[in-house]
Amino acid sequence: MTNALFRFEVRRGAAAWLVWALCVAGMAAACVALWPQMEADAGALGVLFGQMGAFTAAFGMDRLDIGSFLGFYGIEGGSIVTLGGALYAASIAAEALSGEERAGTAELLLTHPLGRRRVLAAKGLAVAARILALDAAALAAGAAAAAAAGQDIPWEKLLLLHAVWALLHLHITALCLALSAMWRGCAAGAGLGLAAGLYFLALLANLAPAVRCLRYLTPFAYAEAAALLTDGFDPALALPGLAAAALLAAVGCWRYRRKDIYG
């Protein structure tokens, strides 16, 4: 029965997933396809972006050579994949449980011999599967576009980027699933607002040294291409936010298993 619910959730979201995948993966591939035309002016491009003041610092371009293929892809393609994937994750995770309650279908769902623990597992796995499939599509599209352009692919760093971006998306998923479990009124808009807020929190932390500590509150900080390509993945930056997301998800599961669904 759990497998049936998982398959149903994946099928139900297939059309929306396809639209998001075409947009996110297609735009990431388009960035790669533009690189051969940009490569001839790579030096001038790096100087231009380096002189954009606060904008340069906000997106980490002061720490990354945008005149290189990985630097260009990390900034341009990374912005699309990280933010696009986060918005998709937030929108479906925020609706996963609360949407059933608002539509009045939670009562019908829970009359089946599943139990709330299995409902939580099936819903969470279905959301995670769609998120990871979107990330896989983005990676495949970017790599295919690079190969078609005759670009040598630095696989180790490219896989690092996409692996951490996938972790970012699962982080957002956990936060929004927890809200969906605890709050009947949680809708896609709430998830989208949370994801956008965390994104701009990371920009603010880059812009203002006085609030640099905000980087520990947002997953976009540890998934920043500039940091990943220059210093690698920083567990100390990621662990506080991941621990908070795991704790909130546990509280959400506890709350969902005990609250009155039929109220």
Contacts by 33-39 with C-beta closer than 8 Å and gap 24+? 33/145, 33/148, 33/149, 34/76, 35/69, 35/72, 35/73, 35/146, 35/149, 35/151, 36/149, 36/150, 36/151, 38/72, 39/69
Residue 187: per-residue pLDDT: 83
In the prediction, which pLDDT does 104 show? 65
Whether 76 and 145 have beta carbons less than 8 Å apart is answered as no
pTM: 0.90
Contacts of 214 (CB under 8 A, 6+ apart): 201, 202, 204, 205, 221
**pLDDT at position 246:** 94
- Predicted confidence at residue 188, as pLDDT, reads 85
State the DSSP H helix or E strand holding residue 16, giving kind and residue range, or none if neither: helix 14-39
Predicted pLDDT at 103: 67
Res 143: pLDDT: 92
Q: Which residues contact 132 (CB under 8 A, 6 or more apart)?
A: 166, 169, 170
Q: What is the per-residue pLDDT for 51?
A: 55
Query: What residue ranges do the domains of the chain occupy?
Result: 2-258
Q: How much is the pLDDT for 6?
A: 87
**Is the CB of residue 259 less than 8 Å from the CB of residue 119?**
no
Residue 138's pLDDT is what? 96
Q: Per-residue pLDDT for the chain (263 aa), expressed as one digit of tens each?
A: 568 888 888 998 899 999 999 999 999 999 888 877 776 665 555 555 555 555 555 555 666 667 778 888 888 888 899 999 999 999 999 998 888 777 666 666 666 666 778 888 888 999 999 999 999 999 999 999 988 878 888 899 999 999 999 999 999 999 999 999 888 877 888 999 999 999 999 888 888 778 888 889 999 999 998 889 888 899 999 999 999 999 999 999 898 888 766 55
Number of CB atoms found within 10 A of residue 94's CB:
30
